[in-house]
Amino acid sequence: MIKVVATVRLLERFRKLSRVIGPIAQDVSESHLNYWASYATDFTCPLLFAYLGYRQHWNWPSAIFSFFSGLTVFSLIEYSVHRWLLHGSGGLLFRLHESHHKAPEERSAFFFPTSIVTLTLVWLLLDRALHLQYASFFTCGVASGYCYFGILHHVEHTTRINQIPFRWLQKRWAAHSVHHRLDHCNFGVVTSFWDVVFGSHQSSKKRNRS
């Protein structure tokens, strides 16, 4: 009984803390300084981990395999976080993402050191389990996927579809536009592959005809 009461009190403290941190986190995420600083960090991370991999004794097959494995894993993480955390948790991240859906033209991003801290932790953990070469190129793949995600998401909310020159990019723009209208589908920003796998894909053509 004492443990239950202590747990309830601890949860209540976390709720109170989230009410204080929430508005501060939202203000930081929506600041222009944080937005552009996050891009600078995101561009730097792939170069950093590519350099770390290059300094090791490496070969092309293992480097390419590790890199594309990282890209693939990132695409699954991006889909999973977007679908089950940002749209299903009801917590602080859910509220921050909800504000993005209400005002998608507003430029917001996670606090800019988040990516490099997270990626460094991933790299350190993988280095313990794998050779440094594989850990570096794998993390470079994850970092490249995140950088691509940031650029693509920026284009989708700052550019009209008729201003986009590439057909594949227009498809990504259209798919994300459907997500913002319906919000229960097309969770993948970088690819529709996982939406097809998990049954959450919605064709933009079907939506336009309805």
Q: Where are the beta strands (DSSP E) in the chain?
A: none
Structure tokens at 125: 């953990």
Left, alpha or beta for 59 (phi > 0: left; psi -120 to 50: alpha)? Answer: beta
Task: Please tell me what DSSP assigns to residue 111.
Answer: -
Tell the residue number behind the tokens 């920003």, with chain if given: 189
Answer whether residue 198 shows pLDDT above 90.
yes
CA distance 54 to 56: 5
Answer whether residue 18 shows pLDDT above 60.
no
Non-local CB neighbours of 72 within 8 Å, separated by 6+ positions:
141
Answer whether residue 142 shows pLDDT above 70.
yes
Q: Where are the beta strands (DSSP E) in 75-181?
A: none
Answer whether residue 10 shows pLDDT above 50.
no
The four Cα atoms 59, 62, 63, 67 give a dihedral, to 10 degrees, of 170
Task: Please tell me what DSSP assigns to residue 87.
Answer: T
pLDDT single digits (tens) 77-133: 999 999 998 887 666 667 667 767 777 766 655 555 778 888 999 999 998 888 888
Share of the chain above pLDDT 70, in %: 71
**Residue 90, SS3?**
coil
Average pLDDT, the chain: 80
Domains of the chain, residue spans: 2-209
Answer whether residue 16 shows pLDDT above 60.
no
- Least Cα distance to 77 among 37, 106, 108, 118 occurs for 118
- Quick one: average pLDDT of 198-208? 77
pTM: 0.78
Structure tokens at 208: 């336009």
pLDDT single digits (tens) 25-64: 555 555 666 676 777 888 999 999 999 999 987 889 999 9
Report pLDDT for 138: 96
CA distance 65 to 68: 5
CA-atom Rg of the chain in angstroms: 19
Query: Would you say 138 and 66 are in contact if contact means Cβ atoms under 8 Å apart?
Result: yes
* pLDDT band at residue 197 under the 50/70/90 scheme: very high
